[in-house]
Amino acid sequence: MPFLPFIRTVRKNIYGIIILLPAFLYLAGFSLIILFTVTQMAFTYAGTEKIFFPALQNFVKLAQSPEFRSALLRTILFTVAGTPLELLIGMAAAFLVVKKFKGRGVIRSIFILPLAIPAIVTAIILYILFDFPGGHINEIIMGRHAFFPCQFVEYPVDWRGSAFSALAVSLAGKLWRDMPISMLIILAGLQSIEKDQTEAAATLGASSFHIFFKITIPLLSPAIATVLVLRSIELWKEFIFPYILAGSYPLLSTLIERAYHEWRSPNEASAIAVVLLVLIITCTMCIYYMLAYLKKRLVRI
């Protein structure tokens, strides 16, 4: 009777299982349906006469389209440039507020403020600020304000008019809005480092430079790993900022929207979604193994 222990466990925990079941069914069912539908649609090709399944045509078509290839390239650059920046900004903010000083609480609250501004609102503010021809940023760098007399450019810059500037502005918005999250993770890591260790190193004559690179950074590595993994996932799938600010230069995420709403092709949209999902999973695993390897090399106890 191999089922007997199983039945006994079930009977003992029957209340627990009953109250757990609704949430489990909702989440697991929902995710299974999503995964199933997206894969099925991505591998379905609606030809002129009949529908093919399974078929790779959607992917072949995408691989041949210059729009998809440039979106893929932009997405990779966006993530590769953005992830280290997220980490650096988060660390800078965390190191600023970790030391005790007068007014630290206020400054910490101010630093959390971007988290409380909805992403779409942040995107709209940047849309207004970087407007062309008459936004604040253009007027400042054209030297039209008395408090900032240097003139960098003669004519206003069309920020949304080139791929580089449009995505740079989107990235700036993303970094601004995400700074508190990275900061809080690093801060939690910093606060868990015990003072004894840094003090011991200082007593033994280590410079603050040495303490930072030999003690603080290695001990901070779990927090750094968390930031890198979570932020890179977020950057791969970032939608709102590039959607509002870089409409003409889609990333993969905004290309999904375009395929779905403008090309009216749910199958191609799903194929892009599958590509994005595979990219995210591969990249997350790479970062994970890279960090595990680095940690083995760095932290010798």
Partner 1 sequence: MIFIVMAPIFIMFKYSLSDRASVVTGGAVIPLWPYEPTLEQYRGLLSADRFIGAAITSLKTALLAVIISLILGVPAAYALVRYRFPGILVLTTFLISIRFFPDIVSVVPVVEVFTPAGLVGNVAGVAAAHCLLSVPYVIFIAMGVFESIPGDLEEQAQVLGAGKITAFFTVTLPVALPGLAAAAIYVFLLSWDEFIFAYFLMAFSDLSTLPVLLRKILSWTPQHNLLAAISVLLSIPVVLFTFIVQKYMRAGATAGAVK
By CB under 8 A, the residues from 185 to 204 that bind partner 1 are 185, 188
Report whether 172 contacts 126 (CB < 8 A).
yes
| 113 binding partner 1? (CB under 8 A) | yes
Q: How far is the CB of 172 from partner 1 (least distance, A)?
A: 10
Q: How far is the CB of 202 from partner 1 (least distance, A)?
A: 27
d(CA 89, CA 92): 5
Applying CB under 8 A, which of residues 46, 233, 287, 294 lies at the interface with partner 1? 233
- Find the binding residues for partner 1 in span 23-62 (CB under 8 A): 23-24, 26-28, 30-31, 33-34, 37-38, 41
Q: What is the pattern of x (binds partner 1, CB under 8 A) and - over residues 124-153?
A: xxxxxx-x--xxx--x----xx--------
End-to-end CA gap in the chain: 49
Among 43, 45, 68, 236, binds partner 1 (CB under 8 A): 236
Q: How far apart are CA 205 and CA 216, in angstroms?
A: 16
57/41 Cα distance (integer angstroms): 12
> Judged by CB under 8 A, does residue 69 bind partner 1?
no
Torsion sign (Cα): 197, 201, 207, 209 = negative
Q: Which of 2, 4, 22, 196 binds partner 1 (CB under 8 A)?
A: 22
The residue range among 49-57, 108-116, 209-217, 289-297 that interacts with partner 1, by the rule CB under 8 A, is 108-116
How far is residue 122's CA from residue 128's CA, in Å, rounded to a whole number? 10
Rounded to the nearest whole angstrom, what is the least distance from the CB of residue 151 to partner 1 in the complex? 13
- Write out the two tokens for 227: 């930031």
- Count residues binding partner 1 (CB under 8 A): 80
Which residue from 70, 234, 287, 294 is in contact with partner 1, where contact means CB under 8 A?
A: 234
Which residues are within 8 A (CB) of 42 and not within 5 positions of it... i.e. 6 or more apart? 58, 59, 267, 270, 271, 273, 274
d(CA 188, CA 241) in angstroms, rounded, equals 28
For position 163 contacting partner 1 by CB under 8 A, the verdict is no
